[in-house]
Amino acid sequence: MSAMARGIIRSSGRIQSFEAHEQLTARDCLFLGKHSFNQGLYDYAINWFEAALIKAKEEGNRTVSPDEIQPFLNFAINTHDNVSLERGEAGVTWKNASVPFREKNEVFYERNFEPVFFVDNLDPVIEKEQFNRLCRGEQLRPVEWDKDLGCRYFNGHHPYLLLQPIKLEEKSHKPYIVQLYDVISDQEIQRLQNLSQFTLHRSSHYGISGEFEASLMRTSASSWLTEETDPVIVKLDRRVGMITGLATKYSMEEAEAYQVANYGIGGHYVPHQDHLQSAGMNSSMFQGFEYRAGDRIATWMFYLSDVEAGGGTAFTYAGAVVWPKKGSAAFWWNLKRNGEGDEMTRHGACPVLHGSKWVSNKWFRVNSQMFRKPCSLERDEYFTCL
């Protein structure tokens, strides 16, 4: 945290040292500590108070004195250790280091972390740790799993693409996750951004209250664009259809409209599945469009910007990460071939550390794809290619 306060984002993984132009003051760090404390993030609060103390001692133009910070640090350490002993490491409203702070041995954070992949119901604390590590760019999957992944030209599902094949990079075979390059032009991106700029609003998600809500689980702004909004959407639909072989029209209830989303610094989306069957949606919600269209068989996500640091899409159960590259798109199947949700597709949007991230998602609905992607009766059959 003290490096971060000096404007340096450092990581052992892919995100190498990155130096920002501005530095935080000791008062900024104190504020971030208080904010973390109020959110129940006691370990982060301690880190920020410690960073504030270091800064306060070095600052020429003092923004706060060390004496003002010390009581906050002491109080945070006591609270952390009491909550740890009484209530454990993490719950809905709090998060601690895995051991009392005074005995902190950093085991969870620095050494001997054993990632766990492809299990049902991964412990949420482990999943969060894996998510953070993947987002920092650590290679968590054993490298042998990646040895059969390749890059190739892909002709999609239409003769048009014989003349202009698509660059495809495999990120995982099972679940099948790929990144496709140069699938949207800079002009089309500009158009999507212009079209959405006046309607962007704070994103929501289906929450534990049973309502759609805005929360810290998803901090971005989003907007929806349909074929009726602009001819560029019709063009993109046609292209995405040729590449994937899937039906893409919102007006025919084949797929959802394009959701354009923008994440600012710190903007993220915690791990979740895109399919609806385990997102807490009950049968009464499957009315109208949801009922007729069926679940989200697959996700297509355009990356509409590069991101200077952070902002990957991390698959916590599969250990794969797709990094934003302007003009590319990620694609993965959310359902198995019998229509059941594939839990191994859990993923989240990593926090943006520097820059601004723009994406546009399209979710294909299963019912209209029945003749294009016939289902199977086998429980364990997966879609294994595009």
Of these partners, ligand AKG, Fe ion, none, which one is at the site of residue 313 (CB under 5 to 8 Å by kind)?
A: ligand AKG
What DSSP designation does 117 have?
-
C-beta nearest to Fe ion: residue: 274
Phi, psi of 50 (to 5 degrees): -65, -40
CB atoms within 10 A of CB 272: 18
Q: Minimum Å distance from CB 257 to ligand AKG?
A: 13
Q: CA-to-CA distance for 343 and 31, rounded, in angstroms? A: 38
Phi, psi of 267 (to 5 degrees): -65, 135
**Burial 238-261, CB ≥16 within 10 A → b, else e:** ebbbbbbebbbbbeebbbbbbbbb
Q: CA-to-CA distance for 197 and 214, rounded, in angstroms? A: 19
Among 130, 334, 361, 369, binds ligand AKG (CB under 6 A): 361
Of these partners, ligand AKG, Fe ion, none, which one is at the site of residue 359 (CB under 5 to 8 Å by kind)?
A: ligand AKG
What DSSP designation does 35 have?
H
DSSP output for 179-195: EEES-S-HHHHHHHHHH
Q: Is 219 in the site for ligand AKG (CB under 6 A)?
A: no
Q: Which helix (H) or strand (E) holds 139?
A: none
Q: Is 344 in the site for ligand AKG (CB under 6 A)?
A: no
DSSP output for 370-381: TTTS---S-TT-
Of these partners, Fe ion, ligand AKG, none, which one is at the site of residue 361 (CB under 5 to 8 Å by kind)?
A: ligand AKG
Residues between 236 and 295 with contacts to ligand AKG, criterion CB under 6 A? 269, 274
Q: Minimum Å distance from CB 218 to Fe ion?
A: 9
Residues across the chain: 386
Among 349, 352, 353, 366, binds ligand AKG (CB under 6 A): 349
Of these partners, ligand AKG, Fe ion, none, which one is at the site of residue 349 (CB under 5 to 8 Å by kind)?
A: ligand AKG
Among 95, 346, 347, 373, binds ligand AKG (CB under 6 A): 347
Q: Which is nearer to Fe ion, 53 or 276 (CB)?
A: 276
Residues between 103 and 122 with contacts to ligand AKG, criterion CB under 6 A? none
Residues between 268 and 297 with contacts to Fe ion, criterion CB under 5 A? 274
Q: Which is nearer to ligand AKG, 247 or 349 (CB)?
A: 349
Q: Which is nearer to ligand AKG, 54 or 265 (CB)?
A: 265
Q: Is 305 in the site for ligand AKG (CB under 6 A)?
A: no
Residues between 95 and 124 with contacts to Fe ion, criterion CB under 5 A? none
Q: Which is nearer to Fe ion, 66 or 124 (CB)?
A: 124
Q: Which of 350, 353, 357 lies closest to 131 in space, CA to CA?
A: 350
Instruction: Classify strands 357-365 and 309-310 as parallel, antiparallel or unpaired.
Output: unpaired
Q: Is 229 in the site for ligand AKG (CB under 6 A)?
A: no
For the chain, the maximum distance between any two Cα atoms, rounded to a whole number of angstroms, is 72
Binding residues with Fe ion: total (CB under 5 A): 1
CA angle, 124 as apex, 76 and 171 as ends, to 5°?
120
The footprint of ligand AKG (CB under 6 A) covers: 269, 274, 313, 347, 349, 359, 361
